[in-house]
Structure 1
Amino acid sequence: MADGGKFAPKTPVNLNPPKDDPISLEQLAMCDGNRDGYPTYVAIKGTVFDVSGNKAYGPTGQYRVFAGKDASRALAKSSLKPEECVPEWEDLPDSEKKVLNDWYTFFSKRYNIVGQVKNASNL
């Protein structure tokens, strides 16, 4: 991606090679930042990112609404509404699809990819 540089983190992040382990929606929901012993995950376009190290996705964080979900639609719409934290984004206007792709790039430069949502159709 030509404009990927603008999303580079200020401090370099050493990421693990991406994994493509299948993660069910039930497993993803358990990784919502509220359960001891579970990581905190956010999925974008079917790709699952481990955001455990960022308190913003934890139980009291400003982005907790995204944790444990494929929040593609909400991210595309720059929304914190829980009802918009759903995977469907294909019907959105191109401007919002661009925002979603920018978020995907942003996450991919900061967080390890730990898997793919099983049977995701929103890739």
Structure 2
Amino acid sequence: MTEEKQTKRFEPKVPVQLDPPKDDPISQEELAKCDGSDPSRPTLVAIKGVVFDVTRNSAYGQSGQYRVFAGKDPSRALACSSLKPEDCVPEWYDLADKEKTTLNEWFTFFSKRYNIVGKVEGAKNN
């Protein structure tokens, strides 16, 4: 598949207007508080240390099917197509190339739909 086709494959069906990406540092503690349980906070998901604001997608909220990812960097779970809480960890560097490709595809998918609001402080895998 050509790179152009690969990129188009992840385009949202409805165009999304995104803000310029931010690289504000976000602590693990702050990220954990943004798990969708507090309506006064955004719902955040990090991938490879990059933090996305997924607040407007109820799938990441308290009763959503992807709530297990909220407030975490679930890079390993995304790479392995897992919804298990124990897989929702940022370590992915030891995975096979196939899983790394899957993780990169998820990163592309998120980056076309959600604002990047910062980076996890001390993230080693980005």
> What interval of TM-score do these two structures reach, taking the shorter chain for normalisation?
over 0.9
Match in the other structure for 2:99: 96
Aligned CA RMSD, in angstroms, stands at: 0.9
Q: Secondary structure in 2 aligned to 1:9?
A: coil
Distance 1:111 1:74 in 2: 19
- 1:30 partnered with 2:11: no
Match in the other structure for 1:50: 53
Unaligned runs of 5+ in 2: none
Q: Secondary structure in 2 aligned to 1:65?
A: helix
Distance 1:108 1:36 in 2: 23
**Where does structure 1 differ by over 3 angstroms across 4 or more consecutive aligned residues?**
none
Give, as a single letter, the amino acid of the residue that structure 1 aligns with 2:11.
Answer: A
Distance 1:42 1:36 in 2: 15
Match in the other structure for 1:63: 66
Task: Kindly state the Cα deviation for residue 36 of structure 1 after the two structures are TM-superposed.
Answer: 2.3
- Among 85, 105, 112, which residue is 2:115 paired with? 112
Match in the other structure for 2:86: 83
Identity %: 67
Give, as a single letter, the amino acid of the residue that structure 2 aligns with 1:101.
Answer: N
1:65-95 CA distance string (max 9 Å, x none): 0000001000000000000000000000000
Q: Secondary structure in 2 aligned to 1:27?
A: helix
Distance 1:40 1:29 in 2: 10
Distance 1:58 1:37 in 2: 13
Task: Kindly state the Cα deviation for residue 4 of structure 1 after the two structures are TM-superposed.
Answer: 1.1
Give, as a single letter, the amino acid of the residue that structure 2 aligns with 1:46.
Answer: G
Q: Secondary structure in 2 aligned to 1:48?
A: strand
How many residues in Structure 1 have an aligned counterpart in Structure 2?
Answer: 123
Task: Kindly state the Cα deviation for residue 5 of structure 1 after the two structures are TM-superposed.
Answer: 1.1
Structure 2 length as normaliser, TM-score?
0.96
